[in-house]
Structure 1
Amino acid sequence: MSGPVQFIGDWGHALGAALFAVLAIWTARRVAGQRIGKLLVAALSLTAIWSLAIAFDGVDETHAGLMEGLRNCGWLLCLSLFPMRTQIRHLRGTWPLYVVLALMLPAQYALDMASAILPLSRSADAAVADGRLILHILWALGALVLTQRVYRTCEAKDAAQMAPLAAAMAAMWGYDLLLYASGLFPGDAMPLLFALRGVAMAALVPVIALTLRCRGGQPVRASRTLTWYGLWTVVAAVSTVAVMAVLMTVEMIASPLGRAIVTGLLFALVAGALLLLSATRYSALLKLWVSKHLFPHRYDYREQWMAFVDTIDSAGASGAPLYDRLLKAMADITTSSGAVLLMLDEDGQFSCDGVWNWKGEAPQGFAADPGMLELMRKKTWVVDIGQARLAKDGALPAWIAQDDTAWAMVPLLHFGKLLGAILLGRPPLVRPLDWEDFDMLRAAGRQVASYIAEARGQQELEEARRFEEFNHRFAFIMHDIKNLVSQIALVARNAERHADNPAFRKDMILTLTECTDKMNMLLARLSRHSVRGEGDRALFALGDAVRQAVAGKRKSHAVLIEGALGAAVETDRASVEQIIAHLVQNAIEASAPDMPVIVRVERAGATARIAVIDHGCGMSAEFLRDQLYRPFASTKQGGFGIGAFEARELAQALGGQLKVESVVGKGSTFTLVLPLADGLADTRPDKERAA
């Protein structure tokens, strides 16, 4: 053999030897405890040794023929055990073949020894070589026939498990038949086939491993994906060989004109085949033919369902709305051209809520036939629109009956309630719907209905959350309005006695103006759609916020402001002032008229603390634990019981905390803790006392 062919032969057989050795070790660990397992390990080991011998010494050595005979003998013994696992009576029709093949092996070896040892003339050596080839050919033919006979004698469950192993044996001996038969004809094909023999044997290792990996009684079946890849590989290989054969034929044409004509025809044929294979209609036709003749079912339900779920769950990748993804997932099942989502209202009217890739105008709404709705609801009836047109079913709306795009209508049922239907467009290859289509579409329709019901539930929860937020905000504002009403009522009572006093009138106008501004601010807060505590952030001194918050309250009660009033924070000032106003108002209500309320501002590390201190009646530990922050629970006459709860909620929204310390009979201290911001100082006095 020449250099490249020799290289391929040596390393191909070396690769085969390594793979068969690994497979023998792996098999010994799995099934060596069984009799057929021991023989299989022996056959794999002999195959590895035979392939290694050829890799080192070549095919012309005598011991290579001996190792090939031992390899064949090992596989023959493995083959003999398969019918014995089912019924021994089947051996009656196959034992003569075993005997004949067993006798051929020493005859082959005798001819190999004679050719290597005895001094033979040229004619005698040629006769011996032809005899060796004929024996090898007859042995390969007999082994193939025996493999087929044994496979047919096995029971169904054993045949399903044995199929890959029988295919591997048939491929091995089929290659031997092709190899030795090529030696009877002139040419250089035999050396090349000898070189490729190692690669071909290495390719059988995964097939044998697949058989051993299969559990007992379980058939080995290729998946649809593997079948498709294998089919396209075979088509590509056959097409390549055909094109190469035609090209070789073209080279033999002497006439340039004839060569040009044949080349043009070949180009047109290849281009036409590529166009047909890429066309959607012919691709669908090929898939239908393969599904009908190679698989027991039209759909691979596992892969179909995984693709269905992946399409619906692809919001992050595609960014499409949920309804569009649901429609595409349904259309992909039957390769439909488009889909329309029709939702059913309480009056039995269908309305179009979604369209995906629909040709023409989508329906705006139509009244559903009561009989059709009843069938959809009770029997999950999938409407075959093509059959309904032929039957002239009056239950179909006129536009569906007239629109050739419409193909099937799938009901969407959720816990027995009909939510609507999905109208599917015609696939590239129009065909009547069968029982597999109906079952698949029914199941998919229920799944789509559950997604729609979940989406509706989430939307309702979101609306309920918004109403809850509105009610929450309204409850807080009612509490603030109650305080403003109390302030206006106090002004009204004093107006009866001091209405003639210019100073009082001026103060009254100022108070009413402040109340009006605060009410307008409360109304603005009520209509705000943002989360509480997310107002405009600003850098300000806490002393300024405290003074603004207690300005109106210091007129009716003494409030002392002290501490580090220049401490600065960066947050929503309106919320901070509202918290302080709540705390100060509660402190005033708990204090005696002659006991001032103290508001103290302090720095503590990276935080600022605003403490509101009163010397009133105080609160018990049980009240602090169970009642203080419970909304709508109040110990005051006419109170809403929401001031402390709102103050804590606002503090947490600002990223701070609200702490409380209280002793019965001594008073309470509420402390607002906020993150401190540096860079702002206040030069005004640190201590102010109410006038």
Structure 2
Amino acid sequence: MTIGAVSYLAGFLAFAFLEILLVINWHGSARGRWLILASGLTAVWCLILGWQENFHVFSARFIWTTELARTYVWLAFLGKLLSPNAGEHGKTSGGRAGIRWVGPAVALQLLYVWLEPYLEQRYPEIFRPAYQLIGHIGLALVGLILIEQYFRNTRTDLRWRIKFLCFALGAMFAYDFYLYSDALLFNRVNADLWAARGAVAVLLTPLLGVSAARNPDWTVDLFVSRQVVFHSVTLLGAGAYLLLMATAGYYIRYYGGEWGAVAQIVFLVGAFLLLALLLFSGQMRAHMRVFLSKNFFNYAYDYRQEWLRIINTLSDTRSGQPLEERIIVALGQAVESPSGVLWVRESAGHFTQRASFGDPNISIPRIDGSDPAIRHMETTEWIINLEEMVTMPEAYEGLTRPEWLERAPNAWLLVPLFHKDRTLYGVLLLTWPRTEIRWNWEVIDFLKTASRLAVSYLALEDAGRALAEARQFEGFNRLSAFVIHDLKNLIAQLSLVVRNAERHRHNPEFMSDAIRTVDHAVGKMSRLMSQLKNLGSGHAVADIELGALVREVVAARTCQAPAPKLGRLDHPLVVRANRDRLASAIEHIIHNAQDAAGKHGWVVVRLRAEPHGHAVIEVEDNGHGMDEDFIRTRLFKPFDTTKGLTGMGIGAYESREYIRSLGGELSVKSQPGQGSLFSFFIPGVKEPSANFATQEVKSA
């Protein structure tokens, strides 16, 4: 089999495969019909020329007729594309007008092909073989002109749909123009150029297939899996790279002299390492996916695959990642963002940082619910693109970059997470993508839809947590009934001692027994009190001078080493709260600090005023400290304790919730091995009530 036959056979197989895809996915469009006809006739053309290359059974007139038929059908397809009136039901009035002058020219040339032997024999001075070549050159020029007109008359924003078609047909007509111009110049057809046409046709089929998939008005809905395209392109690129490296290695060895063999080995090992690095590079894969989406597909996403990926990521509890991190991953992968931060709305209206993923280098524990960026997202349901905010400020109604993101240069998108009834449930920040992303309505709508799904998972999990906590509190309330029963027994024992004390107080045995009973009762009540002291109700509020209260709590905690020390005490600072509950909240944090610092450590308590009117109580220790993950996931989680059976894990939670009920906040700064700093932010009272008596607070 000759090389020409192999070339045309490859072209036949490629166009036959394209023809099968087009026929299966065709829905009756006239333009699609002409594309199917052109592809099918090109496959037949390749088959005939391949057969001719190997067996030479067809006459020259038949071969030239096949050439003209293939050229005409592609010109007719271009005429149909240029027709503005070609409808879905095959109305071709405009299409026939577009090619009416091409048909007679092809028919005239076809007539000349069949009459050529007679005319050249009868009138040799007039008719020559060169006329036939001139006709083919003219048809190739007509094809190039039609392609130029089609591209020029297509709207600029739609040219991405047709550019591969223009490349493919432009290459075909340009090749024909060169082939026949060379034949006219040298008075013979170049055999190599003729034989290579089949292989050139193979290169055109992917471009035609992509064009058919990009143009839904042709109603030829070709679908090619993005995964297949991605892996095929990767495999093809890797193969070309290895072939190039093998060639380079051969020349290195050939021209390297005595060092050639060693240099070749080192070069090939380095080439393989570079290929492995490229194949496993997340940034390179991101570039490849975006390039393929931009240039080979109608849409930026394969929505079926993307939706399945997001659902699988959100529901993958076996990964060990918390749901909040899985949300960042799921939405970040949609726009090639490697990291992000998630804030969730609290009951007080502000947003607290719930999770971060990757390395965003952004630590913003809290966002005020009245922040302009938050208000803008709530009002417009708009995703804030921080780069677009600078280049297109009119799209954001004068909104500027949030102050709390000034130290986050890698911040890119603020995605609002809306739950039912347009409630802003949370905010997701995504950092800059690995590769450039075409920011358009498709990406925006996809992120909005995916965020709705993600927040439904998050709201469901939060509801489950709240239900579990409620059940735990219910169980704890049942436990309280048993505690009250024990207290009743203790009261009965002590009451009996009191009643008998008047009669037997001079009896040494009675006194000894009474002391043992009281000691037992005190020990048991102390153990009960250590677990229940923060659960008292006490809803009465009053104006409280914090300096006196802090001194009282510190004095009460001197019973345990290390005894807390008083630092700075600003006075007078007045707050409005329930004295017992506030004292319990402060005392519990001091107690925790003493436990963390150990007997040989230190605990310092300070009180100061903030410029905006808040009072701040700081409790600092030099204990073992806590990492960010522990603070975020365990410190304030009810019934989660590190003290074993001696703790119940509700003290820190109850302290924070009570401070929040006052409109304040309990924040923590800590690092492993460097101690902890708890800060109570409590709103101050500017004008104390009339019955409030200012207490003198001595400086510590």
TM-score when normalising by structure 2: 0.45
TM-score when normalising by structure 1: 0.46
Computing the radius of gyration from Cα coordinates, the structure with the larger value is 1
